[in-house]
Amino acid sequence: MYNETRRAAWAEIDLRALVSNYHTLRSLAPDSAVIAAVKADAYGHNSIKTSWELIKAGAEYLGVATLDEIVTLREAGIRTPIVLLSATPRGNIKDILDLKAIPVISSLTDASLLSDMAGAFAPGESLDIFLAIETGMGRLGILFDGPGAESVAKIARLPHIRIAGIFSHLSAADDDDPSFTLDQIDYFDRIVSSLAGMDIRPDIRTIANSAGIMRYPQAHYEAVRPGIALYGIYPAPNMDDGTVNLRPVMSVRANIVLVRKVPAGFPVSYGHTFYTERESLIGVIPLGYSDGLPRVISGKGRVIVNGVYAPLVGTISMDQAMVDLTDVPGVKEYDEVIIMGSDGELIITADEIAELSGTISYEVTTRFGQRLPKVYKYSDVGPACQQG
């Protein structure tokens, strides 16, 4: 494939698949608003382009992790409500007002600072917040039992903010054993009831991530927060059971920039961890661990070339990797290699790369998305391919 990215390696982003995944997840929670997670540059898929597609598809909110991510979206002209899913640095509280973001608040101190700032710079307005409650994630959130309930009552009385939502996060919804998740949901429900007894009735309850959307309809409430599933990856491999059809959005491809015939006993790459056992064809592909191809899968990973699998050989370097092409029919320089993606019945998934790497698929797509140029595939929107 010829592309104009100035590199012979790229990530291909199928926005048709993104929209399809959105509608699939939306159909599971038809009565809930969607807070679409586009943090970490949309898990490596480009937050601006994916956000526009998700907004056009109907997403009511976007979710990010940092203030800079909000700035990126606002500068792109996006005015959709954005939820800041992580803690706000206390020195940057005013940015919440300037960016018209919805912060997730986990302490009375942060809520008080925000109220004071809103009173000083937007005295006629009431800033919406999502109040985070700890239910078992062990991360953000007020410990509600005991003094936490008193803190929540004080937050509710602050003059310039409004508790628009109550927020928590499922930590084990992708486990086959549902017991912990059911306990989390039950505890969340009991806290909501306690809040109602304190005359605190947020408009929105939200706890369901991708796995929660797929497995726990009782946790959908007024808003759900899909993340990895939007990008066509199951929250865990055990969830790919045929009940929910997701389509991978990202594939990673490259051209073979050099093919050489080498003799048996030929050393390949740093450290000579691989020697050819026969006369071989060794190809070079121009991407490496700085592009997201994990160095740890050296000698274990594979690619797809001309309709067959071919092994990665030698140590993956910063910008290049080597492939044994000896058994690939008709191979030549500048043939296309699929590092992650499919060709007919052959497929290499983010989960496969993650398993070989000892990590999770989330990290795989995020890392591939950092340096590789992207080619965007559209259906009926714009040209067939656009670079970004």
| Structure-block tokens of residue 330 | 């008709």
Alpha carbons 49 and 154: distance in angstroms, whole number:
40
Q: How many CB atoms lie within 10 A of CB 36?
A: 27
Alpha carbons 127 and 112: distance in angstroms, whole number:
12
Amino acid at 337: V
Catalytic residue among 56, 154, 270, 334: 270
Alpha carbons 349 and 231: distance in angstroms, whole number:
12
Let me know: does 62 contact 40? Beta carbons within 8 Å: no
Catalytic (active site) residue 22: no
The DSSP result for 326-362, as a single string, is: TTSTT--TT-EEEEEEEETTEEE-HHHHHHHHTS-HH
Catalytic (active site) residue 39: yes
| Structure-block tokens of residue 376 | 């965007």
In sequence order, which residues have a C-beta less than 8 Å from that of residue 35 and are 6 or more positions away? 59, 60, 61, 62, 63, 83, 206, 223, 224, 225
- Least Cα distance to 227 among 67, 89, 74, 365 occurs for 365
Catalytic residue among 22, 39, 231, 289: 39
The residues that are catalytic are 39, 270
